[in-house]
Chain A
């Protein structure tokens, strides 16, 4: 069982609000990822990090930002939420290695009204 946590699990918020989705892992993994998933669609990588102070944008353009100040923590922030941000956000982590495997958190379901 992977030890990766996301809070909140569900969030309903109004347009224009600033939100931060939390992701923490206790496995000491250097690599962390954020995916966005709409119902019935594939997961799309929006941000990733290969270690402290490393952040990169993923395949899908996103208005969100991330930070990686500590190894175990990889929060995602939306400065001004909009209805188009409504989606599920999944955090994952992995360690370096030949058989690198990503482990996922439970996800945050975001609804922006």
Chain B
């Protein structure tokens, strides 16, 4: 069965700092990968997704993620965070049966 691991559940950083959230998956087949974000009081929103092609994917609000197949990773990055990036971030994997498996999420707090 597929699984998704996200480490460092709570991340606290200052504005303008760089952010990197790790995502590792376990699945032997072709994967589609997603990062979702949930701002306080709002619903889950899609940040970015990878299906094929360029392994460096750019998403909304200055986020990007890199798919490294050899490392089974899909880490999320933003070079300079803002207070408004305070949110919970979820990595997800879609397998060959179109089922989504989610990681436990990273709670990110940006201090002004």
Contact = CB atoms under 8 A, between A and B. Distances in A.
Interface of A: 4, 31, 33, 35, 40-45, 58-59, 90, 92, 98-107
Nearest to B100: A102
Contact of B105 (A40, A45, A102, A106): A40
B105 A42 contact: yes
B98 A100 contact: yes
Contacts of A102: 100
Contacts, number: 48
Interface stretch (B13-21, B41-49, B62-70, B75-83): B41-49
Interface of B: 4, 9, 32, 34, 36, 42-46, 49, 51, 90, 94, 98-105, 107
B43 A42 contact: no
A55 to B, nearest CB: 15
Contacts of B4: 42
Given A42-B103, A106-B43, A99 B49 contact: yes
B104 A41 contact: yes
Contacts of A104: 36, 43-45
A43 B46 contact: no
Contacts of A101: 34, 46, 49
Given A42-B4, A99-B49, A107 B99 contact: no
| Cβ-closest 4 pairs across A and B | A104-B44, A106-B43, A42-B102, A43-B102
A106 B102 CA distance: 17
B104 A40 contact: yes
A58 B44 CA distance: 19
B70 to A, nearest CB: 24
